[in-house]
Amino acid sequence: MSSEGVQVLHKATALLRELGADTPLSAAELATALGQPRTTVYRLLNTLMELGWVKETEQRGRFALDVTMFATARGALDQSPLRQTAISFLRALRNRTQQTVFLLVTRGTEAICLERMDGSEVYPVGMQLGGRLPLHAGAGPRVLLAFGRAETVDAWEAEALANGEAKAITARTLVDVEAIKNRLQLIRARGYEIATGDSVVGITSVSAPIFGPTGSCVSAISVAGPTEDVTGENAGASYRDLVIATSKALSDKLGGADTRTKG
């Protein structure tokens, strides 16, 4: 592929990521987000609409991902060995807690939702299947950052510092880089994270890492629900213990070497 073709592919991928992260967007909004001329954005949109990956919504002039894109993404998820192995563990955790459970993986400086199972009641608990969050926002993303590779932490820190601070998702999101780095040390020391309201207001999540055969963190498993349910007097410790036990069992299934701090 020519260098020009590679550049076009990068621009198209960036456009799809923007549409996947927000409500339907206009060409002008996409041009601003991508730093590209509006004419370039229109050419990309026309090509992607021909492929069935993007559609113009009922709001004329606004664009969203189309069903072909979702089908392609679903196929990628279905082929994930990690997801296939984790499904039974996620289902058992969901059934025990009756809350929503997530399986998250790292891509770049973001956490991607590889699987989501809703609890007995559906709440606005953040990421949908295939959705993403910055690695500092929420219990699961911070677990991935805490136990992630050094180059991932460095890339995240450089990105945050370039913007002056980390990106806020809600008013409770940790944004100070040093405060977040201190939090990562705590997560490594205790082997899990609890977050309240920093990715979705009124929602608390509990997360722990999943380790693969090389001892590296390959994913994070999380339980999320209304704060009063997840951290209540009779629930808090049991939710934490269930998440940690599930993460260890799934790590064992994957042949993982648990590198959490002992003692």
pLDDT of the chain, 263 residues: tens digit per residue? 677 778 898 899 889 888 876 678 999 999 999 999 999 999 999 999 998 889 999 888 999 988 777 666 666 666 678 888 999 999 999 999 999 999 999 999 999 898 999 988 766 556 777 788 999 999 999 999 999 999 999 999 999 999 999 999 999 999 999 999 999 999 999 999 999 999 888 899 999 999 999 899 999 999 998 888 887 655 556 899 999 999 999 999 999 866 555 44
- For residue 83, which amino acid is it? R
| 25 and 67 co-located in one domain | yes
Q: Are residues 160 and 37 in the same domain?
A: no
- Which ranges of 163-235 would DSSP assign to H, the alpha helix? 177-190, 227-230
CATH number at residue 26: 1.10.10.10
What residue type is assigned to position 172 of the chain?
A: R
pTM: 0.76
Residue 57 lies in a domain: yes
Q: What is the pLDDT of residue 29?
A: 94
Q: Are residues 92 and 54 in the same domain?
A: no
Residue 133 lies in a domain: yes
What is residue 71's predicted lDDT score, i.e. its pLDDT? 66
Question: How far is it, in rounded angstroms, from Cα 84 to Cα 130?
Answer: 15
Q: Count CA atoms closer than 13 A to 71's CA, side-chain side.
A: 7
Same-domain check for residues 162 and 232: yes
Question: Closest Cα partner for 111 from 82, 141, 145?
Answer: 141
Angle between helical axes of 3-21 and 27-34 (0-180°, round to 10)? 120
Residue 107 belongs to a domain = yes
pLDDT for the residue 151: 95
Number of domains present in the structure of the chain: 2
User: What is the rounded CA–CA span in Å between residue 177 and residue 103?
Assistant: 25
The predicted structure's pLDDT at residue 17: 82
Instruction: Summarize the chain as % helix, strand, coil (round to 5).
Output: 50, 20, 35
Last residue of a domain, one of 43, 72, 101: 72
The full length of the chain comes to 263
Residue 129 has a pLDDT of 79
Assess if residue 259 is contained within a domain. Answer: no
State the CATH number of the domain containing residue 157. 3.30.450.40
Is the domain of 120 the same as that of 214?
A: yes
Full strand arrangement of the beta sheet holding 62-65: 25-26, 62-65, 54-56
Q: Are 127 and 222 in contact (CB under 8 A)?
A: no
Looking at the structure, tell me whether residues 88 and 40 fall in a common domain.
Answer: no
Spatial separation of the C-alpha atoms in residues 212 and 257, rounded to whole Å = 6
DSSP label at 159? H
**Residue numbers of the domain that contains 212:** 80-253
In a domain, 260, yes or no: no
